[in-house]
Amino acid sequence: HASELVPTLVGLAALADSPSRLRGIGHMRGHETDRLAALATEINRLGGKVTEFPDGLEIHPRPLRGARFRTYGDHRMATTGALLGLAVPGIVVEDIGTVAKTLPTFTTLWTAMLGGV
């Protein structure tokens, strides 16, 4: 389902060079966590600027800084934090093991992709 890509798109939008607005995704509030609120909270904590709307998010890219990225027990939040960590030094993804829900070998594959780092 395409809505499962929303957290990844929001992560990429936070790293882009121009603002993005995602609408019609209010249903993302009813997943493992309120993904819209969680994404806004975590990206804003990293120094980004994300504004919530009832049915979406507006993302204004800003330089991000490393910090703990909470997953709220949500595998899509964990993969978004990992994605952001590729571009922003110092991001530590809390409870990365939650990705086992959809990809049990994620941490092994991720470590191998990064050259065993």
- Residue 110, both tokens: 């991720």
Separation between Cα atoms, residue 24 and residue 44, nearest integer Å: 21
Burial category of 52 from C-beta neighbours within 10 Å (exposed 0-12, middle 13-18, buried 19 and up): middle
DSSP annotation of 66 reads -
Which residues are part of the catalytic machinery? 4
Q: Angle formed by the axes of helices 75-87 and 6-15, to 10°? A: 20
